[in-house]
Amino acid sequence: MKLRSERLPWACSGQRGPGAAGTGPACRAASPHLSRPGRAPRAGLEPGLEGARSLAASQPTLEAENCSRAALFAKAEELLAKRTAGGDPLARFLKGQLYYEEGLYEEALIQFEKIKDTDFQAMYQLGVMYYDGLGTKEDPERGVEYMKKILYSDSPKARHLKFAAAYNLGRAYYEGCGVKQSTEEAERLWLIAADHGNPKASVKAQSTLGMLYSVSVLKDLKKAFFWHSEACGNGNLESQGALGVMYLYGQGICQNTKAALECMREAAERGNIYAQGHLVEYYYNRKFYSTAAAVAKRITENDDIDMLAKTTDCLPTYIAKGVAMAAFYLARCLQLGLGVQQDQAAAKKYYSKACLLDPAMASDLELAANLGRI
């Protein structure tokens, strides 16, 4: 399970987080704050640029609706330079954040380095950048050092960063990067970060605990269901899809097809490819072949797994599984002429794509070949 660093908490930018617009007791997901396509990797913090843009757009000489991204960036940079020169203690951090959000990591690093000893937000951002190698060579030990300083600080100024820092430290221990690998220590830190499902804590930690209890040596499906449910209720897209699958197969909870479809369809509409893949399987198994083939065809047009991971904030591994499932069932429909015109050549192509994305499916391909069906 390859993870990403936690983004900077919402409070750091003066923005409000996503609201918890519930959708029912079984699947209560909030509207997500998604990354936009075509942007630089978003391994670290979230808001900051939007705040800088708002600062620029609020000036009477610049109408927000008529400004290009470049114009807003230039205006924000100019205004922050003036505020920095005027001694505004927050301006340098906002300037660094502005550069970070534009993918100008080296410039961001310079700004954060200047204030890391007096600004915990800058220290946090540097920890992410050194751990993930953004604007500098990867230095996970240094990243861990900064996160520990934040987590164990007594300063009130570090308080709002502690959940995110705990999540990132858990990631370091789970991956054994910058520290000695320890799944147990990762679990302990993620439980701190998740804070019993507190929506103001690390929702990413809540979702990660759901995955941890699903696949690791600590496997406990009831705990997995609990944490995916908490994360889903707090707006996490990945957990919403996982929760639907758990309802569908009765994993950690009594089987509930209605709740499963509610979760998976909502997650699918929000862009969860893993949920979309399971819906294809559901339609195929219930002999809704034309629907299964049509949905699968759309899913298999997604070739850029990494870009999908950035735009949906879902793990690439699960996105690949979703696309592989869709390709596999589309191949079966094409092979057998179910819901679509029979096409053996196209079936082979989609079987190959499924096996490339998920090697575990190779056994099904081999079985079909031995039976002379492809």
Q: What is the structure's pLDDT at 373?
A: 52
Residue-number span of the structural domain to which 330 is assigned: 271-374
Evaluate whether residue 285 is within a structural domain: yes
Rounded mean pLDDT of 16-32? 41
Evaluate whether residue 10 is within a structural domain: yes
Evaluate whether residue 373 is within a structural domain: yes
The pLDDT tens digits of the residues spanning 33-87 come to 322 222 223 333 333 334 444 544 455 554 554 558 888 888 998 999 899 888 8
Q: What is the structure's pLDDT at 365?
A: 57
* Sequence-separated (6 or more) residues with CB below 8 Å from residue 259: 26, 27, 244, 247
The pLDDT tens digits of the residues spanning 169-186 come to 999 999 999 999 999 999
Evaluate whether residue 160 is within a structural domain: no
Give yes or no for residue 20 having a pLDDT over 80. no
Contact 66, 343 (CB under 8 A): no
Evaluate whether residue 176 is within a structural domain: no
Evaluate whether residue 248 is within a structural domain: no
Q: How confident is the model at residue 215 (pLDDT cuts 50, 70, 90)?
A: confident
Whole-number average pLDDT of the chain: 85
Dihedral Cα 192, 197, 202, 203, nearest 10 deg: 140
Q: What is the structure's pLDDT at 39?
A: 28
Provide the residue type at 122 as one letter.
Answer: A
The pLDDT tens digits of the residues spanning 273-288 come to 999 999 999 999 999 9
Contact 201, 194 (CB under 8 A): yes
Question: Which of these three, 81, 109, 139, is where a domain ends?
Answer: 139
* Domain count along the chain: 2
**Between 34 and 208, residue with greater pLDDT:** 208
Question: Which of these three, 76, 107, 139, is where a domain ends?
Answer: 139
The pLDDT tens digits of the residues spanning 124-166 come to 999 999 999 999 999 999 999 999 999 999 999 999 999 999 9
Q: Which of 52-66, 86-100, 166-180, 327-341 has the lowest mean pLDDT?
A: 52-66
Question: Which of these three, 110, 139, 168, is where a domain ends?
Answer: 139
Evaluate whether residue 303 is within a structural domain: yes
Q: Which of 40-44, 58-62, 200-204, 255-259 has the lowest mean pLDDT?
A: 40-44
